[in-house]
Amino acid sequence: MKRMILFLLPFVAFAQIQYSGSVSPTHLMRISNGSEISLPFRLVDLQVSYSYGNFELKTNTALEARRKGSEFALDFREAYLAWYPSFGEVKFGKIIHTWG
């Protein structure tokens, strides 16, 4: 175990970690009668990127909530490993592709 920690220590010490996110508590109400609209909404959004050399690990996580019943759901929207060799890029994992 100690050898494994010593082997991984340079990767952790010299890597670049970036994180960003937001917390947006919202409350949806109808204008007509003031009753609550019980739709799930994104409460927390967190993006974390960990890069070392030609490799990058990216995650995009969301916590979705519903006011009635206090239901929470953790959603890993993106989680992938990217490698950037000289000929292009190679990605493995769950990736969101946007077209157009």
For 38-56, write each residue's pLDDT tens digit. Answer: 777 888 999 999 998 899 9
**Does a structural domain hold residue 17?**
yes
This prediction has a pTM of 0.70
**Does a structural domain hold residue 57?**
yes
Residue 61's pLDDT is what? 93
> Range of 89's domain?
12-93
**Does a structural domain hold residue 98?**
no
**Does a structural domain hold residue 49?**
yes
Q: Which long-range contacts (CB under 8 A, 24 or more apart) does 43-51 make?
A: 43/72, 45/21, 46/19, 46/20, 46/21, 47/19, 47/20, 47/21, 48/17, 48/18, 48/19, 49/16, 49/17, 49/18, 49/19, 50/15, 50/16, 50/17, 51/15, 51/16, 51/18
pLDDT single digits (tens) 81-93: 999 999 999 999 9
**Does a structural domain hold residue 60?**
yes
The answer to whether the CB of 59 falls within 8 A of the CB of 75 is: no
**Does a structural domain hold residue 39?**
yes
**Does a structural domain hold residue 18?**
yes
* Count of structural domains, the chain: 1
